[in-house]
Amino acid sequence: MHVHTKYSGDSRMEPADIVRIAKKKGLTGIAVTDHNTIKGGIEASENREGVNVIVGAEIMTDYGEVIGYRLNQEIKSRRIEEVIDEIKQQGGLVSVPHPFDTVRKGAIDQIKLGEIADRLDFVETRNARSFWFSNDKAARFAAEHNLPGLGGSDAHMAFEIGRCSTVFKDEEKMIVDHVEGASNPLYPLYPLLRTKFYKTFHI
């Protein structure tokens, strides 16, 4: 439910390769959520090979990142309330990724998170690049606000795809059953440093 392609700027993965890898790993679907664009999701959906591709985008707003799923148009605004409006107007669904991972600049403002809770469809309660205590805090927030939790690999490299995933009771309606994938307190360090290197040196 959280994968990046070359269109994110901090990944080098081709959309078609992501679909191929997901299929090889036994995933029935994948959500492509590039930074501020749906280009990767659109391209992946044209090369689906029997894998359900959810077109999404991870939008950096004035209060932190928000993910929109099932998008068919680019999100133009960067103001959080307007971003949510644009997602909903497309019939899309809204989630907040790694909401309590304060190591990242994209973590959403904590006060604003509470203010928009009633407009969310999901909360990412397990992110494979986040520390376990950040994920635990996200899970508690989701439970307190009666929101389904999503698991996302936040993959920027091929080996990360499927490290964390979401199992749906109804994939079409996106009704969550449970999340799979363990947190590892040391895991985030290597991929975060590597993608920072990619982004800094544009290679």
For the residues 65-87, what does the mean pLDDT come to? 98
First to last CA, the chain: 26
For 57-75, b/e burial (b = at least 16 CB within 10 A) is bbbebebbbbbbbebeeeb
Architecture label for domain 6-201? Alpha-Beta Barrel (3.20)
pLDDT value for 63:
97
For the residues 62-79, what does the mean pLDDT come to? 98
Q: What is the distance, to the nearest Å, from the Cα of residue 139 to the centroid of all Cα atoms in its chain?
A: 15
- Extract the tokens encoding 143: 């439970």
Q: Which long-range contacts (CB under 8 A, 24 or more apart) does 199-203 make?
A: 199/9, 199/10
Residue 194 pLDDT > 70, yes or no? no
Burial of 91 (0-12, 13-18, 19+ CB in 10 A): exposed
pLDDT value for 191:
59
The DSSP secondary structure of 13-80, one letter per residue, reads --HHHHHHHHHHTT-SEEEEEEET-SHHHHHHHTT-TT-EEEEEEEEEEBTEEEEEES-SS-----SH
Which of 11, 4, 19 minimizes the C-alpha distance to 195?
Answer: 11
- Each residue of 28-57: pLDDT tens digit? 999 999 999 999 999 999 999 899 999 999
pLDDT value for 94:
98
Q: How confident is the model at residue 103 (pLDDT cuts 50, 70, 90)?
A: confident
Edge-to-edge, what's the strand order for the sheet holding 93-96? 29-35, 52-61, 64-69, 93-96, 122-127, 149-152
pLDDT value for 193:
65
